[in-house]
Structure 1
């Protein structure tokens, strides 16, 4: 295998996952090693509850993300979420929908069709996902979650051409599924601004990806059940050490999948959001115990895609 490993190194990629992962010297623009993300913040009420819980528990939340997509929020709800995020100086990232799992794709529900579920299916769905990005941007929101390489590629070109705001940021969802340094670099080359790695990456695998890309990495330290259900709070200090700059992302085990969300699920979404913040408090306490010198961003933070009014 020596020749292949040497060729990878010649291409600027690691030749293997390191036995002793190095400490990352890369940082966010403000010099911080880590930031906190709370996912599944599905509407204005959930966002307000998450921010209130964060204030009560003294958790600095830098980014909130959502899974149902801008397409399932009214114009008023989009503006309300943007306004709340502006006031809190927090990045708000909404999913670019729809994808194959949300339309008539039979393959996406078949036993072997899982990889298709997060893809934009056909030209019309590509158009629809890009229109969702446009509508989200028009509401003042400056960050979208993307799962499909084609959507990322075209959206990036739209940003370069002025069809989307120059400060629009593309956060890659864990559902894109690229799982090695070479493939994640493709997403970076196509215009990604951060990358959510697979939930089961070891610390060594995270270190290998960090060696290959400058992108901030989004890392679930607690993953939803349908993403593995891992609870990795005792690893947070090591994850921050080797993967910085990193968004420490608090999902929630033993929680229902609420996508697509709506008013019929708001009480559940609010309760789940509050518990994610509580889990963040637990995780951050462990981080401070084992890596007391780890540096977090303060708000407002340079480089956060906070909405605009």
Structure 2
């Protein structure tokens, strides 16, 4: 194996997952090691609930993400969500949809189709996703969640050509599934601005990925059941130490998948969002206990993709 390991090192990749778990010297532009993300924030009412809970619990939220997609937000809801977030200088990342999992094809429903559901099917669906991104940008948002590598490559080209705003940021979803330093470096080179790694990667695997890329990693400290349901709160200090810069992401085990969300699930979405903030308070207390010198970003942060009103 030594020749292969030496080849990997020769192209700028780690030759092995490190055993000594080195501290990451990389940082956000403001010098911080971590930021907080609350996922599944499905609309303006849920966003307001997140901020109310965060204020009550002393949790500083830097970014929220949404899973149902801009396509399932009305114009008024988009405007309200952008305005609420802009007042708080918080980034909002809306999922870019539709994708195969909600389409008419049968393959996405097959038992072994986990890698299929998050892909754009055919040219028409590629166009639909790009149009969803265009509409999201027109409503002032400057961050979108992307799962498909082809969508990422074309959207990055459209950003470079001025079709999309230059400030648009591509947050790669956990559903893309890339899990090693070489493949995630490919996503970075394709245009990803942050990358959500699979939820079960070890600290050594995270450290190896950090050696290979510079963009922030999005890491579930607690993941929803359909992403493994892992509760990794006691690892938060080491996650920050070895993987910085990192968005600490607080999903929720033992909770329903509410995508696609809507008014019929509003009360559930609000309750889940409030509990995610509570989980963040619990986990951040552990971070302060075991890594008190860890630095988080203050708000506003210049590089956050805050909506433009």
TM-score scaled by length of structure 1: 1.00
Partner of 1:171: 171
Partner of 2:28: 28
Spell out structure 1 runs of 4+ moving beyond 4 A: none
**Any residues of structure 2 matched to 1:179-190 within 5 Å, and which?**
179-190=179-190
Q: In structure 2, the residue corresponding to 1:93 is in which secondary structure?
A: strand
Structure 2: how far apart are the matches of 1:38 and 1:20?
31
Q: Does 1:148 align with 2:148?
A: yes
Structure 1: how far apart are the matches of 2:120 and 2:49?
32
Shift in Å at residue 21 of structure 1? Answer: 1.0
Partner of 1:268: 268
Q: In structure 2, the residue corresponding to 1:87 is in which secondary structure?
A: helix
Shift in Å at residue 113 of structure 1? Answer: 1.6
Partner of 2:133: 133
Structure 2: how far apart are the matches of 1:291 and 1:15?
28
Structure 1: how far apart are the matches of 2:91 and 2:200?
25
Shift in Å at residue 153 of structure 1? Answer: 0.3
Q: In structure 2, the residue corresponding to 1:114 is in which secondary structure?
A: coil
Q: Please give the root-mean-square deviation of Cα atoms over the aligned residues, in Å.
A: 0.4
Superposed CA deviations along residues 156-176 of structure 1, whole A, max 9, x for unmatched, are 000000000000000000000
Q: In structure 2, the residue corresponding to 1:116 is in which secondary structure?
A: coil
Unaligned runs of 5+ in 1: none
Structure 1: how far apart are the matches of 2:291 and 2:56?
23
Superposed CA deviations along residues 238-275 of structure 1, whole A, max 9, x for unmatched, are 00000000000000000000000000000000000000
Structure 2: how far apart are the matches of 1:172 and 1:34?
17
Shift in Å at residue 302 of structure 1? Answer: 2.3
Shift in Å at residue 14 of structure 1? Answer: 0.3
Partner of 1:218: 218
Partner of 1:51: 51
Q: Does 1:209 align with 2:239?
A: no
Shift in Å at residue 23 of structure 1? Answer: 0.3
Partner of 2:95: 95
Partner of 1:19: 19
Partner of 1:107: 107
Q: In structure 1, the residue corresponding to 2:115 is in which secondary structure?
A: helix
Structure 1: how far apart are the matches of 2:75 and 2:157?
26
TM-score scaled by length of structure 2: 1.00
Unaligned runs of 5+ in 2: none
Superposed CA deviations along residues 31-65 of structure 1, whole A, max 9, x for unmatched, are 00000000000011000000110011010000000
